Each structure stands twice: as C-alpha cells, then as structure tokens.
Amino acid sequence: MDMMTARVTRFTPYMGAVLAPVLALCVWVTLNPYFLWESRRHMALAGMLAGGLAVLAFLLGDRLRRREIAGFGLICLFIIYISLLPKVDGTTTRWYFVLPTMLALAIFSDERRLKVIQYFSWIFAASLIPGIIASICAIANIPIEFQALPLLNPTMAAAGGSYLHTPGALLLSGNSLPMPWGGELYRLCAVYDEPGMVGTISAFLLAGYRFRLNRPVSAILFIGGTLSFSLAFVVMATLGFLVRLVYTRSLLNLLPLALLGLVGLTVLGVIKPYIPLREVPIISSATQQIETPTEDAPALLSSPSESAQLEAIELEQALSREREEAAAAAQAAQAALAAQAERAAMEKQHLRQVEVINNRSLPEMDQLLERYWHADTKTILFGLGADSSVVYGGVSQVVTRLFTDFGLIGAVLFAGGMLCLIFAITTNSQSPVWALLFFTLFALSIYQRPIVWMPYAFTLFICCSTLAGYREPRSASRSNLS
C-alpha cells in the first residue's frame, strides 16, 4: 500500500501538469474547426474528458470557491432547465455536454485557470497563422491555390455562398475588396465558420492580456483580429486600447488605435482602396494593309490610264481611313462602357453589407419578439420553444432569443448566474479595473453571441477575467504569462 502511495505521489506533479493543456485542447475543439464539421462526437468526447479532468483536479486538491458556488449553481441549473425545454417540434436539445467543462472550471485553482487560458491562447493563435499567411498572399497578389468550400450555414450555402479554402485556412469569398496592385482583400475565417468568431475571440484574449502587444501571442491575435475585419473586434479592441491609453498614458497605444480606425472605416465602406481603371488598348480593325505605289509604280504611271489608277488608289486609301476611324471610335465607346461597368461593380463591393449596421436582429426576429411579449403568461415564463429563434426568427443571433427561446425564467437564471460570477471574480481580483473591462466587452458581445454557455465561451468568461485581474509579480519572468 505504501509503495502504491509512493508511486501515486511521484506521478502527481505530472498529472497536475497535463490538466491545463488538455482542458485547453478540449475547449478549443468546441470551436468546431472546419475539419471537424462532419463529426458529431467530438463535442461529447471533449465534455467527457473535461469531466475526468475535473475529478483529477479534485483529487489533486483543487476545490470550489465559496464565492462562486451561487454563480456556478445558477448557470448549471440554467443548463438543465434549457435541456428540458421542448423545441418547436417537441424534441429537446441536450446541453448536458457543457456541464463537465463548467465543473472543471469551478474546481480549478486560479493558477490552473491562468495556465488554461495561456495554452488556449497559443492554440488559438497557432490556428490563425495559416489563414494570416493566406490572407496576406491574397492581398499582395502572390499566387496561391484556393478551392471553393460551401458555407457551413446551409441556407447561405444553398444561395451559392462559399469559402476560399487552402490547407489550414478559410477566407470568406462573398465579401472582398480589390487592391490597386491586383490583390484582393478577403475577410479571415482561419479554420472557423465566420470572421466574427476570429474577431470576437481575439478581442477577448487581448482583453485577458490587458491589450499588451509586447508578447508574440498578443501580436498574432491582433493581426488575426484585424484581418477578420470584424466590426465587433474593431469596437471591443478600440475600447480596450482607449482604456489602456488612459491607464498607462503611453502614446504607443495610438498606433493600434489608428489602425483600428482605418479598419473600421474600411469595414463600414466609408473608405476604399483607389483602383485606377484599366486601359483597354484600341486595336485597328483593318486586316489588310493598303499597298502604296512601290518600285513598280513608275511602270503603272507610264501606262495610258495612270491618272485613273491613281485616283482609284487614293479613293481606296480614304475609304480605309474612314473604316479605321469608325472602328476605333466604336471600340473606344465600348471600352468606356466597360470601364463604367467595372467602376460600378467596384463601388458595390464591400467587406460586409453596409445598408444596416445592426444586422443581428432580422425583421422576422423582431416580429417573433413582438409576438412573445403579447403572449400569455405561460409563454412569457417558458418561451415559444427552445429553437423558436431558429425556426421563426430567421436564424437571428441576438440576445433577445434568450426570452423567445427560454422565457423569462431562463433569462433570469442566466443573468443571475453570470452576475454572481462577475461579482465573485471581480472582488477576488487583484486588478478589478481590467477584470471589469473584460466583463464589459463580454457583455457587449452577448448582444450578438448570446450562446455563451458553450465550453469555449464560458472558459473565456472565467479564465480571461481571472487573467485580466491577475497582477503579475515584478520579479516574475515575462514568459510566465506570455
């Protein structure tokens, strides 16, 4: 027995060392990269493994914090509640696979949470690198082979939407801007389903690092978020760098702010790269050269009919010149029309639709929300169906779906759990200003991405806020949290 205990004790440091990287990998898998789109089991397998990690952390001495018990309890109760709610067709969505990750996060110590987000940030940054390279090559007009890949959204894919795919990278082909030197500016999706995923997560991770760009991982995240041309990234990163400018009084923060301003104006279509119209060469339509008198001309002129022949030659030359001038004029008109059409097509190209800035709540969703607020008491309490926003709301990703899908009870459970966790983490934080900044950015993101109980989003919520509020000792090496 003593020998077995000694063996377990000897391997305890190794078991503790694998907890953070393995949980980070499990969480990253739930981002659903494109090479897992055909799989249906990776989410469940990641959840099961996270549950095992929670048990192992408990055996190694990690424990729940009293301040966080209420918050985690309400969120877990919310997950159970929405898993029992029927959808429009009477079936249910089993959200239970997210509970093991929540349990692991609740048990993990602060030091282990910091390591989880450190490993996750490196995994996520590494996933951006192939896409960043492909995006830069497309912008610089460097030849690179792309293949069309249908969009993950079946409705958009049926309408002809597709990605530009090269190994390890996806670019959104539907929205682009031409460059003056012949390149093309596309929105970066990396290995994920949309540019907004890249932009939002990059902004959260940068907030965890307090928007410091002196680390390689932070620089990669900033470049990836910028190339996603996500309006959410622009807004959240701008707020973050403004706070850092005020907090540190360093003018170096004006550089990323200026770049973000330029990107924001480009996304909104206010500014565009100037593309000079290509010149269309005008080629003569004459296919035969008119022969002028040569050495044989004297022989022709010495004949009795030399005057008549000379007049015929001059007449033929005049007619030929008229034909060439008419063809040149027609070709010039055709070139002008082609140039106008090309310019009109360029004017219509945008990185995103610019008619409506807030495109998260579709008209169908607005009608559904109106229907919800005028429904009976039971419907207001329990919602119109756990997937009503998908069935009736035009697949709108907006925070109001918490009411239409899960009712007032679900919204109160969700809000209560998140607020309790925000209070607990902030009061335990060494730098509450930065923790509150992260929570502010997270709250802004909930408007357009309300499903934040997914393992990757909830891990960012817990671990990034812990990292943002952590005050690194001056004697600690920079590499500890880089």
With 70 as the cut, is the pLDDT of residue 105 above it? yes
Buried b (16+ CB within 10 A) or exposed e, 56-80: bbeeeebeeeeebebbbebbbebbe
Round to whole Å and give the CA distance between 147 and 167: 10
Residue 396: what pLDDT?
Answer: 66
Cα 330 to the center of its chain, rounded Å: 47
Round to whole Å and give the CA distance between 206 and 229: 16
pLDDT tens by residue, 281-336: 444 444 444 444 444 444 444 455 666 666 667 667 777 777 777 777 777 667 66
Q: What mean pLDDT do residues 30-43 have?
A: 91
Of 13-17, 53-57, 450-454, 455-459, the range with the lowest mean pLDDT is 13-17
Round to whole Å and give the CA distance between 203 and 445: 10
User: Residue 327 burial by CB count (10 A; 0-12/13-18/19+): exposed, middle or buried?
Assistant: middle
Percent of the chain whose predicted confidence (pLDDT) is above 70: 80
This prediction has a pTM of 0.82
Confidence of residue 173 (pLDDT cuts 50, 70, 90): confident
Domain residues of the chain, as ranges? 6-269+355-480, 276-281+311-349
pLDDT tens by residue, 78-93: 999 999 999 999 899 9
With 80 as the cut, is the pLDDT of residue 482 above it? no
Q: What is the DSSP letter of 193?
A: S
Contact yes or no for 205/464 (Cβ under 8 A) = yes
Confidence of residue 358 (pLDDT cuts 50, 70, 90): low
